[in-house]
Amino acid sequence: MIKVITYGTFDMLHYGHIRLLERAKALGDYLIVGITSDDYDKTRGKINNHQSLMERITAVKATGLADEILVEEYEGQKIDDIRRLGADIFTVGSDWVGYFDYLNEYCKVIYLPRTEGISSTEVRAEKRKLRIGLVGTAAFRTKFINEAKYVNGVEVVGIYEARQPSEPEEDSLFYTDNYDELLEKVDAVYILSKPELHYEHTKKALSVGKHVLCESPIACTGKQCGELYDLARQRGLILMDAIKTAYSTAYERLLLMAKGGKIGRVVSIDAVCTSLRDSVMSEWNSMCSWAPAAMLPVFQFFGVNYRDRIFFTMFQDRQKNIDAYTKIDFVYDTGVASVKVAQGAKAEGELIITGTKGYIYVPAPWWKTDYFEVRFENPEDNKRFFYQLDGEGIRYEIVAFSKAVESGKDMNYVSRGISEAIAGVIGDFNERKGLIEIGAAAK
Ligand code: C2G
């Protein structure tokens, strides 16, 4: 019996894939098909898959061409599989010519002519692109524009800001100082204006039927934030909180490990986010710049019903509500949390989750990490984890947003409850509720 093995993503299965599988099958008597896992595809830069692994497996199975299906999860697995399963022939489309010659050491390698004129990318592209408009000026606007280029089915088409930019980021983008004009030309907006404008910019977009991806805080009180989520739901629109940390695979996995009891019972979470910069110029104070990301692990692990919360703040400019440094202590029934955020001070930007059996350590900059460690009393038991993170997580955030818009289902990377809780903390800070001032303000 001649065993043939082939691999692929097989997203949005089309006749190019099927013809490959038919010819692969004809090379022998038994066809094994390896289908790439979502994680492995992310690692190799394929972030636009529309279908989950299970959907892709089901589609390949339905062709009746595969005698056996396996999941490809890591670089180099092909060698393991070929040896373990005794494959006689490895085959793949001619777009990979030369790439798999190294497998000749283990079995015969055959490249089959690729079917021209069809690809998963083209199938995905047939869907109308989601036109996104950017609202406001912020340092990371350019990052968003560049990251969106990696996402199929999405295009940034224009920018609204009160004053015309000195030099546009891209000639292809239209610029306007009229928000209504931008809203007429887009399907969705990404809001990165100064925090106190988020509520009105979001409300206006939702009111005219546009989906919203908004930098956190979405509003400056929990009540206003809830009102916006209600409006989005009533209008059948997506409102998503753009905390890029939530879209980092490493961050997601470390949280699952903490929840799964890997380090015992979690008693405290300590998060530090600092970056020395001119808050006044950027119009974002330390709290708005960093507290949403810093509070995310606290709220996602301990929840939002804390017993007590205290701010310790050193102001840079009290009148302008610019804090140079703020420490927030949360007290829960089952643990405590401390969040330190600063643009007028510098500290190690790490995240530590303390447990009764060990702890999770995420080195700086933890809020865009691809790496973390699980550490125990005996260092020999320590484990290290790495998960690819391209573009600081922004492109995955855009993928999640476009999928939510297409499916009409919020993927809940940042839940409504957490979004509201973040807005509530910002609101309490602005009203100085439970705030102890430290140090003398500059003025
Ligand atoms: N294919 C084809 N004709 C097309 C499109 C794809 O023959 N028009 C072939 C590809 O060459 C590949 C298989 O169909 O052999 C699956 O294609 P993809 O799902 O795009 O998989 P790919 O990313 O090419 O993964 O380790 C991964 C695999 O080796 C290939």
Q: 228 CA distance to ligand 1 centroid (A)?
A: 43
| CA-closest residue to ligand 1 atom 30 | 8
pLDDT at position 440: 66
C-beta of residue 80 within 8 angstroms of C-beta of residue 71: no
Number of H helices, E strands in the chain: 14, 20
Q: 393 CA distance to ligand 1 centroid (A)?
A: 26
Q: 63 CA distance to ligand 1 centroid (A)?
A: 16
Question: 12 — phi, psi (to 5°)?
Answer: 50, 60
Pocket test for ligand 1, best of 11, 56, 95, 118 (most atoms within 8 A of CB): 95
* Other beta carbons within 10 Å of 143: 15
pLDDT at position 280: 76
Q: Give the position, in ligand 1's atom list, of the atom nearest the Cα of 91.
A: 15
pLDDT at position 441: 55
Cα 198 from Cα 408, distance rounded (Å): 22
C-beta of residue 270 within 8 angstroms of C-beta of residue 337: yes
Pocket test for ligand 1, best of 20, 81, 99 (most atoms within 8 A of CB): 20
| CA-closest residue to ligand 1 atom 10 | 93
Q: 92 CA distance to ligand 1 centroid (A)?
A: 7
What's the Rg (C-alpha) of the chain?
Answer: 25
Q: Give the position, in ligand 1's atom list, of the atom nearest the Cα of 7.
A: 28
C-beta of residue 323 within 8 angstroms of C-beta of residue 236: no
Strand partners, 68: 32
| CA-closest residue to ligand 1 atom 21 | 8
| CA-closest residue to ligand 1 atom 11 | 93
Q: 108 CA distance to ligand 1 centroid (A)?
A: 18
Q: What SS3 state is found at 142?
A: helix
Nearest CA-CA partner of 254 in 377, 398, 355, 396: 355
Residues within 6 Å of ligand 1 by CB = 7-10, 16-17, 20, 36, 72, 92-93, 95-96, 114-115, 118-120
Cα 208 from Cα 227, distance rounded (Å): 16
Q: 184 CA distance to ligand 1 centroid (A)?
A: 39
Q: 83 CA distance to ligand 1 centroid (A)?
A: 22
Q: 218 CA distance to ligand 1 centroid (A)?
A: 41
> Measured at the alpha carbon of residue 403, what is the angle toward residues 296 and 134, in degrees to the nearest 5?
70
Output the CA–CA distances (angstroms, integers) from residue 309 to 151, 304, 338, 345, 433, in the order listed. Answer: 39, 11, 10, 22, 9
Q: 387 CA distance to ligand 1 centroid (A)?
A: 24
| CA-closest residue to ligand 1 atom 12 | 93
pLDDT at position 163: 77
Q: Give the position, in ligand 1's atom list, of the atom nearest the Cα of 114.
A: 7
Q: 11 CA distance to ligand 1 centroid (A)?
A: 10
Query: What amino acid occupies position 100?
Result: F
Q: Where are the alpha helices (DSSP H) in 169-221?
A: 179-185, 198-207
Helix (H) or strand (E) holding 112: strand 108-112
Q: 253 CA distance to ligand 1 centroid (A)?
A: 29
Chain centroid offset of residue 347 CA: 25
Per-run averaged pLDDT (10 residues), the chain, 443 residues: 97 96 97 96 89 94 96 95 97 96 97 92 81 89 93 94 75 91 98 96 98 97 98 97 94 96 97 90 91 98 98 95 97 98 96 98 96 97 93 92 92 94 98 92 51
| CA-closest residue to ligand 1 atom 22 | 8
| CA-closest residue to ligand 1 atom 14 | 17
Strand partners, 35: 8, 71
Nearest CA-CA partner of 269 in 283, 258, 284: 258
Q: CB within 8 A of 440, min separation 6: which ones?
A: none
Q: 6 CA distance to ligand 1 centroid (A)?
A: 9
Query: What amino acid occupies position 118?
Result: I
Output the CA–CA distances (angstroms, integers) from residue 281 to 97, 138, 341, in the order listed. Answer: 53, 10, 18
Q: Give the position, in ligand 1's atom list, of the atom nearest the Cα of 120.
A: 20
Q: Give the position, in ligand 1's atom list, of the atom nearest the Cα of 96.
A: 11
Nearest CA-CA partner of 33 in 75, 103, 85: 85
303 torsion bin: left (phi>0), alpha (psi -120 to 50), beta (else)? left
C-beta of residue 343 within 8 angstroms of C-beta of residue 277: yes
Q: Give the position, in ligand 1's atom list, of the atom nearest the Cα of 19.
A: 7
Rounded to 10 deg, the angle between the 249-259 and 286-302 helix axes is 40
